[in-house]
């Protein structure tokens, strides 16, 4: 009898494993253990809520257990805020058809963001965050308005991660303001300072896309504002791909101690020869840490780069590109649901 029961249990678990393997909507055992609830957002009324903000608002303040908000495919025209007192939220789109969260506000980096995440311990997967103010989809026509600040997403919580997400705008697309952040296989598109702030962030296998034909002059991928020589902040791009309409600078310094590293990244022929600008910090170039290591492609030619670009040792590069050393010293990434 015991052997029969054991055989039935073995068959049950085998069938469950097969279902988990072949059903793209199923989640592994770890997720089932650590995610306390799943809320469904469907614009057409086939879920728990019809807007993303309603779903976030339904989660209690000071939440201490991971809660998944699954967003069915649609275009959600709304501003969304994850407040500081609502940690442990997973915002997840359909794997095959990503939902779009978009809004068209501009002119102010604080008030324009389509999406804001203040909370610590936050995850987003398979979502397109978009600011439509500068009409990125209609590059030949920006409604006669000058391009201005129009943030797609602003993040300033600690221990936030983003997987297969897109951030789309023209100017100041992604406000990577502060905190430790991890981006994996994400796309960031813009023309002017389109990744900016003082975050401590690792971008791995991401697509960095220039749309400078919108503005008609060379733009800037990054505007990092690291606060001082002992500040651990900085933007690190590991095994990424830089492409687009160009031309584009890798960055300009938004602070005396600005720090950016491109490592193992393929650069198409859109990078300006000089690569970097001191911008607001001309005269303090020795304090700026802009570096490239083991990059490739026609845009990775270092022969005409600014003379003050830093040459990092292999150990320094490894210390910045290794997540465990740069952003994950306490192992927070492994503690997040996959």
In the chain, what percentage of residues exceed pLDDT 90? 81
Q: What is the pLDDT of residue 264?
A: 98
State the average pLDDT over residues 240-256: 95
pLDDT per residue as tens digits for the range 141-184:
445 567 899 999 999 999 999 999 999 999 999 999 999 999 99
Q: What is the pLDDT of residue 145?
A: 64
**CA 134 – CA 114 distance, rounded (Å):** 13
Q: What is the pLDDT of residue 119?
A: 98
Q: How far is CA 32 from CA 13, 19, 125, 337, 338, in A?
A: 15, 14, 17, 9, 11
Chain Cα centroid distance, residue 284: 29
Q: What is the mean pLDDT of the chain?
A: 89
Structure tokens at 288: 């700026």
- Smallest Cα–Cα separation from 50: which of 90, 85, 78, 12? 78
pLDDT bin (cut points 50, 70, 90) of residue 58 is: very high
Question: Given strand 276-277, what is the order of strands in its sheet?
Answer: 80-82, 115-117, 153-155, 174-176, 195-197, 219-224, 248-252, 276-277
State the average pLDDT over residues 103-124: 96
Q: Contact 111/189 with Cβ under 8 angstroms?
A: no
pLDDT bin (cut points 50, 70, 90) of residue 22 is: very low
Q: What is the pLDDT of residue 40?
A: 98
Which residue intervals of the chain are DSSP H helices?
A: 2-22, 29-34, 52-57, 314-321, 323-326
State the average pLDDT over residues 99-122: 96
The answer on pLDDT for 24 being more than 70 is: no
Question: Which residue of the set 134, 172, 176, 193 is catalytic?
Answer: 193
State the average pLDDT over residues 56-60: 97
- Smallest Cα–Cα separation from 333: which of 182, 205, 201? 182
Residue 31 vs residue 229, higher pLDDT: 229
pLDDT bin (cut points 50, 70, 90) of residue 134 is: confident
pLDDT bin (cut points 50, 70, 90) of residue 237 is: very high
Q: What is the pLDDT of residue 144?
A: 57
The answer on pLDDT for 17 being more than 80 is: no
Q: What is the pLDDT of residue 25?
A: 32
| Pick from 26-40, 75-89, 206-220: least confident | 26-40
pLDDT bin (cut points 50, 70, 90) of residue 338 is: confident
Q: What is the pLDDT of residue 140?
A: 39
The answer on pLDDT for 16 being more than 90 is: no
pLDDT per residue as tens digits for the range 253-303:
998 999 999 999 999 999 999 999 998 878 889 999 999 999 999 999 999
pLDDT bin (cut points 50, 70, 90) of residue 11 is: very low
The answer on pLDDT for 130 being more than 50 is: yes
State the average pLDDT over residues 73-100: 97
Residue 141 vs residue 24, higher pLDDT: 141
The answer on pLDDT for 139 being more than 80 is: no
* pTM of the entire predicted model: 0.88
**CA 313 – CA 167 distance, rounded (Å):** 32
The answer on pLDDT for 27 being more than 50 is: no
> Is position 193 annotated as part of the catalytic site?
yes
3-state secondary structure of 260: strand
The answer on pLDDT for 3 being more than 90 is: no
Q: What is the pLDDT of residue 230?
A: 95
């Amino acid at each position: 009898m015991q052997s029969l029961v054991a055989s039935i249990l073995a068959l049950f678990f085998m069938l469950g494993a097969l279902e988990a393997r072949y059903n793209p909507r199923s989640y592994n055992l770890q997720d089932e253990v650590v995610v306390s609830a799943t809320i469904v957002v469907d614009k057409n009324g086939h879920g728990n809520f019809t807007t993303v903000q309603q779903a976030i608002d339904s989660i209690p303040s000071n939440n201490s257990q991971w809660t998944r908000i699954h967003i069915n495919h649609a275009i959600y025209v709304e501003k969304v805020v994850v407040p500081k007192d609502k940690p442990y939220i997973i915002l997840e789109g359909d794997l095959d058809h990503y939902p779009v969260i978009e809004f068209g506000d501009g002119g102010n980096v604080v008030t324009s963001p389509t999406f804001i995440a203040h909370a610590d311990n936050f995850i987003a997967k398979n979502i397109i965050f978009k600011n439509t103010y500068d009409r990125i989809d209609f590059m030949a026509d920006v409604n006669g308005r000058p391009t201005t600040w129009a943030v797609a997403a602003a993040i300033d919580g600690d221990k936030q991660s983003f997987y297969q997400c897109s951030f789309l705008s023209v100017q100041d697309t992604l406000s990577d303001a502060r905190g430790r952040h991890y981006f994996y296989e994400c796309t960031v598109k813009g023309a002017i300072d389109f990744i900016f702030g003082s975050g401590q962030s690792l971008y791995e296998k991401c697509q960095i896309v220039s749309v400078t034909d919108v503005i008609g002059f060379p733009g800037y991928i990054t505007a990092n504002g690291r606060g001082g020589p002992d500040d651990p902040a900085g933007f690190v791009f590991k095994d990424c791909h830089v492409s687009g309409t160009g031309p584009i600078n890798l960055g300009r310094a938004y602070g005396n101690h600005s720090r950016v590293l491109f490592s193992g990244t393929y650069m198409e022929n859109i990078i300006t020869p000089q690569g970097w600008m001191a911008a607001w910090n001309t005269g303090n170039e020795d304090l700026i840490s802009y570096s490239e290591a083991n990059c490739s492609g026609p845009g990775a030619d270092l022969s005409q780069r600014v003379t003050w670009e830093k040459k990092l040792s292999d150990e320094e590069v490894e210390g910045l590109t290794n997540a465990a050393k740069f952003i994950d010293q306490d192992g927070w990434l492994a503690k997040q649901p996959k």
